[in-house]
Amino acid sequence: MISDMAERVVVINSAASEKRVAILEDNSLIELYIDRDEKERLVGNIYKGKVINVVHGLKAAFVNIGQERNGFLPLSEIPYQQLVEDAEIEVESTRELAVKENQDIIIQVTKESYSGKGPRLTSYVSLPGRYVVLLVNSRHIGVSRKIRDRNKRQKLREIARKHRPPRMGLILRTAASLASDEMISEEIKSLYEDWQGIKEKAKHDGPVILYKEPDLVIRMMRDLHPKDVKTIFVDDEASLNRIERYLKRRGGELLSRLRLYQGESPIFDQFGIEDEIRKALERKIWLKSGGYITIDETEALVAIDVNTGRSAQEKNPEALAYQTNIEAIKEIARQLRLRDIGGLVIIDLIDMAKRGNYMRVISNLKKLLKKDRAHYKIGKLTNFGVLELTRERTRLSLSETIKETCPHCLGVGRVLSRRSLYSYIERRLMMEQERISGGTIEIRVSPRVADFLITTAFGGIKELGAKIGVNIVITPDKAVGENEFKVFRIHPYQELTSG
pLDDT digits (tens, 9 = 90+) for 117-142: 899 999 999 999 999 999 998 888 98
The answer as to whether 111 is a domain residue is yes
257 pLDDT more than 90: yes
Helix (H) or strand (E) run with residue 13 in it: strand 8-13
Domain boundary among 160, 179, 212: 212
388 pLDDT more than 90: yes
% residues pLDDT > 90 (the chain)? 54
Cα dist from 420 to 15, 158, 404, 423, whole Å: 15, 48, 10, 5
The answer as to whether 109 is a domain residue is yes
**Structural domain containing residue 491:** 415-498
Q: Please tell me the pTM assigned to this model.
A: 0.81
CATH for 255: 3.30.420.60
Residues 478-497: tens digit of each pLDDT? 988 888 899 988 877 777 77
Residues 450-466: tens digit of each pLDDT? 998 998 888 888 888 88
Helices 418-431, 458-468: axis angle to 10 degrees equals: 10
- The residues, any chain, with a CB within 8 Å of residue 104's CB and separated by 6 or more, are 48, 49, 50, 51, 205, 206
4: confidence class by pLDDT, cuts 50, 70, 90: very low
Same domain, 334 and 374: yes
Cα dist from 116 to 42, 43, 51, 296, 393, whole Å: 15, 17, 19, 20, 15
Of 446, 449, 472, 450, give the one whose Cα is nearest residue 461: 472
- What pLDDT is recorded for position 37? 66
Average pLDDT over residues 217-243: 91
The answer as to whether 407 is a domain residue is no
The answer as to whether 377 is a domain residue is yes
The answer as to whether 457 is a domain residue is yes
Same domain, 60 and 114: yes
Domain boundary among 391, 426, 456: 391
Same domain, 14 and 147: no
Question: Exposed, middle or buried by CB within 10 Å (0-12, 13-18, 19+), for 407?
Answer: exposed
1: confidence class by pLDDT, cuts 50, 70, 90: very low
The answer as to whether 404 is a domain residue is no
Question: Which value, to the nearest 10 degrees, does the dihedral of the CA atoms of residues 29, 33, 37, 39 take?
Answer: 120
Same domain, 289 and 256: no
Same domain, 64 and 140: yes
Same domain, 253 and 361: no
The rounded mean pLDDT for the chain is 87
Same domain, 120 and 153: yes
Same domain, 69 and 147: yes
474: confidence class by pLDDT, cuts 50, 70, 90: very high
- What pLDDT is recorded for position 96? 74
- What pLDDT is recorded for position 396? 82
The answer to whether 221 and 228 are in contact (CB under 8 A) is: no
Average pLDDT over residues 213-217: 92
Same domain, 186 and 50: yes
Q: Name which residue leads in pLDDT, 151 or 311.
A: 151
Cα dist from 453 to 293, 421, 459, whole Å: 36, 10, 9
CATH for 445: 3.40.1260.20
Same domain, 94 and 200: yes
Q: For residues 320 and 354, give the distance between their C-alpha atoms in angstroms, rounded to a whole number.
A: 13
- What pLDDT is recorded for position 38? 56
Domain boundary among 212, 237, 262: 212
Helix (H) or strand (E) run with residue 21 in it: strand 19-25
Pairing of strands 132-135, 141-144: unpaired
% residues pLDDT > 70 (the chain)? 91
233: confidence class by pLDDT, cuts 50, 70, 90: very high
CATH for 290: 3.40.630
Same domain, 72 and 203: yes
410 pLDDT more than 80: no
Strand, coil or helix: 17: coil
The answer as to whether 431 is a domain residue is yes
Residues 140-170: tens digit of each pLDDT? 898 988 888 999 999 999 999 999 999 999 9
Residues 189-208: tens digit of each pLDDT? 999 999 999 999 999 988 99
413 pLDDT more than 90: no
Same domain, 35 and 50: no
Q: For residues 296 and 283, give the distance between their C-alpha atoms in angstroms, rounded to a whole number.
A: 7
- What pLDDT is recorded for position 15? 75
Domain total for the chain?
A: 4
The answer as to whether 421 is a domain residue is yes
Q: Name which residue leads in pLDDT, 405 or 385.
A: 385
